[in-house]
Amino acid sequence: MKNIAVIGAGTMGNGIAHTFAQSGFQVQLIDISEASLSRGVATIAKNLDRMIVKEKISEAEKTKILANINTHTSIDNGVKNVDLVVEAATENVDLKLNIFKQLDEACDENTILATNTSSISITQIAAVTSRPDQVIGMHFMNPVPIMKLVEIIRGYNTTDDVTHTIMELSKALGKVPVEVNDYPGFVANRILMPMINESIETLYNDVAGVQEIDTVMMLGMAHPMGPLQLADFIGLDVCLSILNVMYDGFKYPKYAPCPLLVNMVRAGKLGVKSGEGFYDYSESRKAEKVSKQFK
């Protein structure tokens, strides 16, 4: 397995492409937007420069890694003769189902189809293909080049051979794969998102402010980052999407998104990506601006 296609050049997609290319794989990075591809490759180059400064790689190694990445705006062209496709598009069910229908038609019959989804059912995605036994979840953590965990999610029909292949491939990337079963949120987000949602409820109910909540969790629970700041980095729209998937899947009230989260997303306060969420990133300073504004 040496030729890998990655669908989506955003934060997760370019991170996955970076990781495979750095491990010596040929990577076909695919996105419908040339601008997105250019930004994705520029991000990879910038992250490699940081590694040079830290003396983790050389300038020659950077050149070699970038040479391992080819870009495409067409799925049909990008997935020719690849062994594995990793889809890392926006966390939207309809979009992913459409992509997998295209991949099923365009890929060789032996190509494994993986999705980086953080919450959507692998079984549901696999059902739109003619190869549900070859569809699997590879949920990388952000930032991909640094974080060791990969959740490997088996769909209802995913074979043992495909699971074993992806587990071993993840190890070859220097990651630690953990096999889990296909239920909403899997393990990481089934535990993380209710905690983030409860943190937002705590703010919404005026129990404490943004910095106070995050400080309690960092100093009292040894979390490296507070849950509200983490939500900003994940993207509040992504958090909302995952919670909605979990609520739809389980129908438990505890997964229902907090009204404050819903209103912030409606107002375009999405976290780091928009410049403001629970903290103000436009001025590079932390500020409590949302505890009352969106009630």
The CA distance from 257 to 220, in Å, is 25
Q: Are 174 and 23 in contact (CB under 8 A)?
A: yes
Three-class secondary structure of residue 71 per DSSP: strand
Catalytic: which of 47, 116, 118, 197? Answer: 118
CA distance 146 to 128: 33
Determine whether 91 is an active site residue.
Answer: no
Residue with the two structure tokens 């989804």:
117
Tokens of residue 113, six digits: 């189809």
Q: Are 6 and 49 in contact (CB under 8 A)?
A: no
> Residue 285: helix, strand or coil by DSSP?
strand
Tell me the three state secondary structure of residue 227: helix
Match 């995605």 to its residue by tokens. Answer: 125
User: Six-digit token pair at 267?
Assistant: 């107002």
Amino acid making up residue 178: V
Helix (H) or strand (E) run with residue 240 in it = helix 236-250
151 in active site: yes
Residue in this structure with the two tokens 């495909």, named with its chain if needed: 162
* 18 flagged as catalytic: no
Element (H, E) at 150: strand 149-154
Active site residue 3: no
90-106 exposure pattern, b = at least 16 Cβ within 10 A, e = fewer: ebebeebbebbeebbeb
Catalytic residue among 14, 170, 189, 274, which?
189
Check 36, 121, 139, 170 and give the catalytic one.
139
Q: Which of 14, 72, 91, 151 is catalytic?
A: 151
Indicate which residues carry an active-site annotation. 118, 139, 151, 189
